[in-house]
Amino acid sequence: MKILYFSDTFLPKIDGVAISMRNFAELLAERGHEFLICCPRYGEGDFERMGERIRVERFRSGYLPSYPDIKVVLPSPSKIKRAIKEFQPDLVHIHTPGLMGVYGINASEKYGIPSIGTYHTLMSEQDMYLSLYRLLKLDKLFMRIGKLNKKIKVKDLLKFEKFDKFNIRKKIILKITNNLYDRCDLIISPSHLIKKQLEEFGLKKPVAVISNGLDLSQFKGTPKTLSENPKLLHVGRISYEKNCDVVINSFKLILDKIPQATLTIIGDGPALPSLKLQAQKLGIDKSIMFTGFIDRAELPQHYPNFDLFLTASTMETQGLVILEAVACGLPAVGVDSFAIPELVHDGVNGFIAKPFDVKDIAEKAIRILESPETYANFSKESLVISKSHEMKACVDKMEEVYRSVASQKGKKKKRSLLNTIFSLDPLGILG
């Protein structure tokens, strides 16, 4: 089969979507399938091939002012038309609901190609990046003002905590996103909990559950025992929606009870400067290490060096870093939101806390770190839970879904207003 990917993010930018796309494309390419990946142009680090059967087509793009890591891809109808004519895909697979996703689903309708969409990211949970608060960079202004203050307390920070409200902006984003995915022939969800949520949101098309998977030959561990100086870990993009500030506030309470504990935060992103300032103002910066970005190839060697994984993210459709941590035998504390309870089984390999509840997260981490027996049992169960996400089984499922959807030959072509607009490039100047 020939599969055409559309995504608003891809390597060399590292995130869960890019890693998932690369893993599936590479492993399916080994089985003889061919891929063309349409994605943003980043500049330094860009590449055009990933072996003989995977080609990458880059598109001109600009940055979202409120979040420089998000690319806004310019329309290139002539380039997409040329790519489809040359590649002759059996299937279109969109991975993001951004502009590349829109271009992809428009192309699938215009040329009558069967389509699939993976719901990697809950866009309604990223509405903060579309707010005037972010666009005007008032968060940076607040950070500068904060530099004038002396030490602060957790209760002071909680006054500024943004609790998750399903506001009108979220509803609009959700409606737009769902309309896009409902134009696909099949939707893929990385978890059963997200499938249930999507169906409750009103998606009409069938939803198949396929985990993003993990290579357990790389991310592996043995049952762990509790150490005297517990080392806590958080890994991932250091962006606002991941709520890493909540993790730091919780760690302050953990330190009050277990002063020899340390926290390491691996990753880079726009929220990193404010988090460093937060640690300093709380007076716990000596107990927190910010490593910055670490190459993914090196991560399997890092996880086993830690004792407990912490996350306060409320928008995970699966949570690849959580899966990596439990595959290495770490117990975990997460929050009751979307797919996290599928990886952190409450009372089995960790605890589930209330979203944004700093005290609850801290208390549940302390319960694990003060009980060697509980810790040992949780570590063993983490290894068991991770086995259901073995990459090969996930690739088998994806290949089966691809064959099923691609077999829908003779799909009726559609001419929509958007298709007409995106075709208005007779000279190819946008390509």
Answer yes or no: is 93 within a domain.
yes
Pairwise CA distance, residues 422 & 113, whole Å:
17
- Give me the CATH number covering residue 322: 3.40.50.2000
- Cα Rg for the chain, rounded, in angstroms? 22
> How would residue 315 be classed by pLDDT, with cut points 50, 70 and 90?
confident
327 and 194 within one domain: no
Q: What are phi and psi of 171, to 5 degrees?
A: -65, -40
* Residue 98 falls in which region: left (phi positive, over 0), alpha (psi -120 to 50) or beta: beta
Give me the percent of the chain exceeding a pLDDT of 70: 82
Residue 342: give the domain boundaries: 231-388
> How would residue 409 be classed by pLDDT, with cut points 50, 70 and 90?
confident
80 and 98 within one domain: yes
Give me the percent of the chain exceeding a pLDDT of 90: 62
pLDDT the model gives residue 255: 97
Q: Which of 21-25, 88-92, 129-133, 199-203 has the lowest mean pLDDT?
A: 129-133
Where do the H-state alpha helices sit in 263-339? 272-281, 299-302, 320-327
pLDDT the model gives residue 411: 75
Mean pLDDT, the chain, rounded, equals: 86
Task: Answer yes or no: are the C-beta atoms of 110 and 102 closer than 8 Å.
Answer: no
Element (H, E) at 92: strand 91-94
Answer yes or no: is 429 within a domain.
no
pLDDT the model gives residue 155: 65
Which one of 96-110, 170-184, 359-373 scores highest in mean pLDDT?
Answer: 359-373
158 and 104 within one domain: yes
pLDDT the model gives residue 148: 54
Dihedral sign, CA of 319, 331, 378, 306? positive
36 and 22 within one domain: yes
∠ at Cα 96 (310, 109), nearest 5°?
Answer: 160
Query: Could you report the per-residue pLDDT of 168-194, keeping only the tens digit for each?
Result: 666 777 778 888 999 999 999 988 877
Dihedral sign, CA of 104, 109, 113, 115? positive
Average pLDDT value for residue range 36-49: 94
Pairwise CA distance, residues 395 & 215, whole Å:
11
Pairwise CA distance, residues 381 & 326, whole Å:
9
192 and 72 within one domain: yes
Predicted confidence (pLDDT) at residue 408 exceeds the cutoff of 70: yes
Answer yes or no: is 223 within a domain.
no
C-alpha distance from residue 76 to each of 62, 84, 104, 196 (Å): 14, 12, 11, 35
Answer yes or no: is 430 within a domain.
no
pTM, full prediction: 0.74
Answer yes or no: is 224 within a domain.
no
**In the structure encoding, which two tokens stand for residue 143, read together?**
């950070």
pLDDT the model gives residue 428: 46
117 and 7 within one domain: yes
Report how many domains make up the chain: 2
204 and 260 within one domain: no
Predicted confidence (pLDDT) at residue 145 exceeds the cutoff of 80: no
Average pLDDT value for residue range 86-92: 97
pLDDT the model gives residue 122: 56
164 and 144 within one domain: yes
Answer yes or no: is 157 within a domain.
yes
pLDDT the model gives residue 430: 46
Amino acid at 219: F
Answer yes or no: is 365 within a domain.
yes
**In the structure encoding, which two tokens stand for residue 322, read together?**
């959580």
Higher pLDDT, 7 or 68: 7
398 and 353 within one domain: no
194 and 87 within one domain: yes
Answer yes or no: is 379 within a domain.
yes
pLDDT the model gives residue 170: 64
163 and 23 within one domain: yes
188 and 120 within one domain: yes
Average pLDDT value for residue range 336-358: 93
Task: Answer yes or no: are the C-beta atoms of 388 and 213 closer than 8 Å.
Answer: no
Predicted confidence (pLDDT) at residue 359 exceeds the cutoff of 80: yes
- Cis amide bond preceding 273, omega within 30: no
